[in-house]
Chain A
């Protein structure tokens, strides 16, 4: 290849692609270095990073459903629970299913694949009859589903051990690596999954099906008239999101070694939804940023702020501050943040270009109208 040829190839590459690659490498590098920074500075973040990572995986999956395909899913945690419980059923020594079958616990990796498939299957079962509904109805149905799943788990203790929860749960097996109490192996596993999820969702977004999602989100009738099957396209998005959630659930249950229905209630669905709205619907990097911001608020900052407030309270002898616990105000703070965001920046902190346009279309036409009005006024004068 001659120098000129190389030059043309380079100029043909889409703009910003190299920049994205560089940012990606830096972010991955930082993520990989984090445990070492953590131990060097004695920040003791280890155990807090894994839930944040799991939340990022959840957010990436929900972004496919809500951000790409425009389907509002308010019961996303249900699939998280389904994934977690499937793994528990298949790998826990306390599993009634295994006892009934007389089978030994199976390998975690296999269980994880099964959990992903089961969650996707539930996505299809829930989606097939409901995706024909319009947006608002879908939100209500998924909301109901999100409530039903933890309830079923609570009320079938003969299988799920109800509110007592299930433990222990099988762990991944990698030669030479011990997945136990030490957080590093878990951390690197989660980072690997996040990277994989980013590649996967980005490729889907830029493919035939990704364009079909965007088209359906914009105008379902027009999309159908262009040969896009709306039902199967939406169903695929739904199943894809569910399988991400199931997958995350599998890792979560194995990491935590204990699951109970309380971990999968409505607030989890909302928390993940807030993450992607905060970060910027439809934009993969924005969604990750949203996950990091809210995840670290939830797991790290809330405690730190509480500590600081309590220290101040002790020093100044103010009773209110001494007993301060930001965690109790978690919902309030999240809600406030969301309201403020919706008012100030409805497209999220790092929006995708398309979403930004959608949300500002009304304003633009207002500006245009104002300009037209003023020109009319000028000419009349």
Chain B
């Protein structure tokens, strides 16, 4: 895939609207082309600004009552009994269907988005492992790792060391996960690597435990930040890591 084609598909890629094949092509191109990767970051920033800061106007409280009243008025007995009958039967059915449809839509799209986010975390983990680009900053000292993120991110990620508990911090890197800049803290446990993704909890953040492509994923929310641990470590050990991390002051 060339640069033009990639640029054309950037928004759709960030919005999760591409089919898997084209999306993989875009990702492959972004990994090898710093200019397009920059453009992707810039678009992600615009998209983030709009989605985070633009007001979603909420219907004024009295509007609900007045709309309901006018719909009822339309359904009131008229000179045409067949219309009245249609209306009185159609109203509850229509409302029910619209509501059911809406609920289905929300549940469906939420589930899809959650799946896509999960994929993004796991693919970042795999990408780092396969390209060998696991850490941008190598340090076992949390007081070195934490300041390293300053100026590179718009938030200050929580950083903890669990060396005493057998999960030493070995460094960190920056990554983009579903279009958002994310701090990645890298921990080791024997020969296994744990990536802990930390960023401000956005709309879709929620606790989770999942297995994807043989990797374990544990996610939680703490002090307004979304934390997602991904590892090839066995599930009980990763859960232990998550528990210790959350318990640390």
Binding partners A and B: no
